[in-house]
Amino acid sequence: MNFDLKTLELPAATTEKCDLLVILVPEGFKPGQDALSVLVAHALKCGDLEAKAGKHLHLYQAPAVSARRVVLLGAGNGSARAVRQALQAIAASFKLPQVKRAVVCFAGEAQPDSVCAAVQAVADASYVYTTTKPKAEARTLNRVVVGVAHAQAVREAFAQGVGLVEGVEFAREWGNRPANHATPSLLAEAARSLGRQPGIQCKVHGPAEVARLGMGAFMAVAQGSEEPLRLIELRYSGASKTEAPVVLVGKGITFDAGGISIKPAAEMDEMKFDMCGAASVLGVFRALGELQPAINVVGLIPACENMPDGRAVKPGDVVTSMSGQTIEILNTDAEGRLVLCDVLTYAARFKPAAVVDIATLTGACVIALGAVRSGLFANNDALASALSAAGDAAQDLCWRMPLDEDYAEGLKSNFADMGNVAGRAGGSITAAKFLQRFVGEFPWAHLDIAGSAWKGGAAKGATGRPVGLLVHYLLGRAQQLSAKDAVKKPAPSVPTRRNVRTKPT
Ligand code: BES
Ligand code: MN
Ligand code: ZN
C-alpha cells in the first residue's frame, strides 16, 4: 500500500478526488467558510456528530464535495491514542471493495505522533492476510493520502509510521501463515530476503552448526520433528562498528504440539502462532531496512517444531545446554525456554549493549495480563523503563513483572542443575527465572507476548505486536547515540547523518 503526505486543509480537501475522505475533527474545531467546514459545523451543532474520539457520521455524494464517500470522524483531543481509537471505530470503511484511494485529513493542527498513529491505524484496519487466501479477497485499498496543515512539520513522524507499517505487516503475515507454510526453513528464507535491504546481513545455521555450538537444549526440542532446525542470525549495521549492538532474540517454534507432553486438541491450531516472537524480530528488521537509523542491531531466531515422535525428547530426559548447565526436561511443552536459553548464551558473543528476547512463552502470562499488555521482565531498571516508555509511545503496551529469586525455588531438580518447569503458580515468572540463568553480564529483558501476539475467536490472527514497541525503543536509542556523538564532536561543519532517514529513492 502507498502512503503519501500532503499539505491539505479542508478547503482543498473538498475538491480532492478519492473513494473515501475521512475528516478528523478534534474537540474545539474552528470551522472556515469551505463546504466541508460548514458541513462539520452543522453536524456538530445539530448533535449528529460529536468530537469525541470514534464518534462519526457517514455522508454519500455530499453537495460540493468531490469524494463519493465522506466520514466525519471525532478525533477527541487529537492525541495519537485518540486518533488511533477514532480510525479503529471506522475500520470497516477501509476494507470496502469500492475504496481504492482514501484521504485522511486532519482538521486543525496535527501532532507528529498522531500522524504516525494515523498511518498505522489505517494500515491495521485495511490489512488482509493473503498467503493462502484467494487473490480476489486481497486488500483493495492501495493509496492513502494523509492531509495535514503543515506537511513539513510532521514528515519525519510520517516516514516513521510508514516504515513501521512495513515491519508490522511483515510480522503479521508470517505470524498468520499456517505451520506448513512457515517451516523453520521458510522462516530462514524470509530472513534471507531481508538481507537484500541496505545495511542488513543474514546468516543461517543448520543442525550441524548448532550441534557444534553445543546447543543441547535447542536440539532436544527439534529432535522430534522431521523439519530440520534453523538458527537465524540477522545483523543491521547503521552505526560504527565500535557501537555495541542491541540483540533481539525471537522464539521461533513454528508449531508447538507440546511434544510428548502433548497439548489437548482444542485450539491446537493456534500453536502455529508460536513463532510470533521470531516474526516480530523479522518485522523489526524490515522496519530498520526502511528507516535506516544510526544504530547496530543483531537478531537471533531459534526456529524448529515441537512434535511428538519416536525420537522426541521424553519427560525426565536430561540435556546439556550451551552454557554447560544441565536441564531435566520435566515437561516437553515448556520448550520455548529450552530453545531460548541456548541462544541467550550465544548472544554474549556480540558484546551486546542490551539483549531483549520476545516469546509467546506461557499461557500463565495470558491469565495474568490478558491481551492488553505484554509481560515485561528485566534485570536492569533503565532498560525496563526505556522499553515500557517505548510501549506507551507506540501504544503497544507492556507491564513489568517481578524477578525475585524466591520464584526460582521450584526449578530445583534431583537429576540436573534445574528442571524446565516449576509448578502452576506464577508460571510466567518462573519461566523468566529459568531464562535468567542463561543471561550473561548484560542488561536483559524478556517480553512474554503469549497474550498480545495474536487474537483468537472470530478475529483470529496475528497482531504484529510488539514490533511497534521495539522499533520505538530502537529509534529512541539511535537518537540518544547521535546526541552523545554531537557532544563528542561539537559543531560539525557538514550536516551529519540524520537519525531517521527516509527510504533512499
Ligand atoms: N507456546 C506455549 C505458551 C502458550 C500457551 C502461548 C497458550 C499462548 C497460549 C508454551 O510453549 C507452553 O506450552 N507453555 C506451557 C508451559 C507449562 C508446560 C509450564 C504453558 O504455558 O502451559
Ligand atoms: Mn509449549
Ligand atoms: Zn510454545
Residue 253 CA: nearest ligand 1 atom is 1
Q: Whose CA is nearest to atom 9 of ligand 1?
A: 363
Over 90: is that where the pLDDT of 328 sits?
Answer: yes
Under the banding of pLDDT at 50, 70 and 90, the label for residue 383 is: very high
Q: Which atom of ligand 1 is nearest to the CA of 430?
A: 19
Q: Parallel, antiparallel, or unpaired for β 101-106 and 2-7? A: unpaired
**199: nearest Cα among 331, 96, 288, 261:** 288
Q: How far, in Å, is the centroid of ligand 3 from the Cα of 404?
A: 24
Is the predicted pLDDT of residue 115 greater than 50, yes or no? yes
The Å distance, Cα 259 to ligand 3 centre, comes to 10
Residues 6+ apart with CB under 8 A from 139: 1, 95, 126, 127, 128, 130
Distance in Å, CA 256 to ligand 3 centroid: 5
pLDDT tens digit string along 143-202? 999 999 999 999 999 999 999 999 999 999 999 999 999 999 999 999 999 999 999 999
Catalytic (active-site) positions: 263, 337
Query: What are the pLDDT digits (tens) for 131-141?
Result: 999 988 999 99
- The pLDDT of residue 484 is 86
Q: What is the DSSP string of 237-278?
A: E-S-TTSPPEEEEE-EEEEE--TTSPPPSTTGGGGGGGGHHH
Residue with the three cell numbers 520505538: 472
For 167-178, b where at least 16 C-beta lie within 10 A, e where not — what string?
bbbbbbbbbbbe
Ligand nearest to the Cα of 364, by number: 1
How confident is the model over 341-363, as a mean pLDDT? 98
pLDDT at 135: 87
Mutate to test the pocket of ligand 1, among 253, 362, 452 (most ligand atoms within 8 A of CB): 362
C-alpha cell at 154: 510532521
Residue with the smallest CA separation from ligand 1 atom 13 is 333
Written as one string, the DSSP assignment of 275-310 is GHHHHHHHHHHHHHHHH--S-EEEEEEEEEEE---T
In this predicted structure, what is the pLDDT of residue 277? 99
Mean pLDDT value across the chain = 96
Rounded to 5 degrees, φ, ψ at 228 are: -70, 145
Topology (CATH) of 167-484? Aminopeptidase (3.40.630)
pLDDT digits (tens, 9 = 90+) for 360-373: 999 999 999 999 99
Mean per-residue pLDDT for 458-468?
97
For the CA of 258, the closest atom of ligand 1 is 13
Task: Return the pLDDT at 486.
Answer: 83
- Please work out, in degrees rounded to the nearest 5, the angle formed at the alpha carbon of residue 480 by the alpha carbons of 478 and 483: 110
pLDDT one-digit tens code per residue, 434-461: 999 999 999 999 999 999 999 999 999 9
Other Cβ atoms closer than 10 A to 402: 11
| Nearest ligand, measured from the Cα of 257 | 2
How remote is the CA of residue 458 from the centroid of ligand 3, in Å? 22
Q: Whole-model pTM?
A: 0.95
272 — pLDDT class (breaks 50, 70, 90): very high
Burial class (CB in 10 A: 0-12, 13-18, 19+), 237: middle
- Ligand 1: atom nearest CA of 364 is 21
Q: Residues with Cβ < 8 Å from 490, sequence gap 6 or more?
A: none
Structure confidence at residue 487 (pLDDT): 81
> Cα of 211 to ligand 3 centre, how many Å?
22
C-alpha 261: how far from chain center: 30
Q: Domain locations in the chain?
A: 2-149, 167-484
With b for 16 or more beta-carbon neighbours within 10 A and e for fewer, the 462-481 pattern comes to bbbbbbbbbbbbbbbbbeeb
Query: Could you say which ligand is closest to the alpha carbon of residue 375?
Result: 1
* Spatial contact of 100 and 133, defined as CB atoms under 8 Å apart: no
What is the model's pLDDT at position 490? 62
β-pair partners for 306 = 256
The one-letter amino acid code at 487 reads V
> Of 231-240, 418-427, 493-502, which gets the smallest average pLDDT?
493-502
Shortest-distance ligand to the CA of residue 258? 2
Residue nearest to atom 5 of ligand 1 (CA): 363
Distance CA 256, CA 272 (A): 7
Mutation probe of ligand 1 site: the residue of 333, 338, 455 with most atoms within 8 A of C-beta: 333
- Residue that wins the pLDDT comparison between 475 and 496: 475
CATH topology of domain 2-149: Leucine Aminopeptidase, subunit E; domain 1 (3.40.220)
User: Measured in angstroms, how far is the CA atom of residue 360 from the centroid of ligand 3?
Assistant: 6
For the CA of 263, the nearest atom of ligand 1: 13
Q: Whose CA is nearest to atom 8 of ligand 1?
A: 450
Gap from CA of 457 to ligand 2 centroid (Å): 20
Find the residues whose C-beta lies inside 6 A of ligand 1: 256, 274, 331, 333-336, 360-364, 366, 421, 427, 450
3-state DSSP call for residue 81? helix
Q: Whose CA is nearest to atom 22 of ligand 1?
A: 363
List the residue whose alpha carbon is closest to atom 16 of ligand 1: 334
Residue 396's nearest CA partner among 466, 451, 461 is 466
Q: In angstroms, rounded to a whole number, what is the distance separating the alpha carbons of residues 476 and 34?
A: 40
Ligand 1: atom nearest CA of 336 is 11
Instruction: Say whether the peptide bond before residue 466 is cis (omega within 30 degrees of 0).
Output: yes
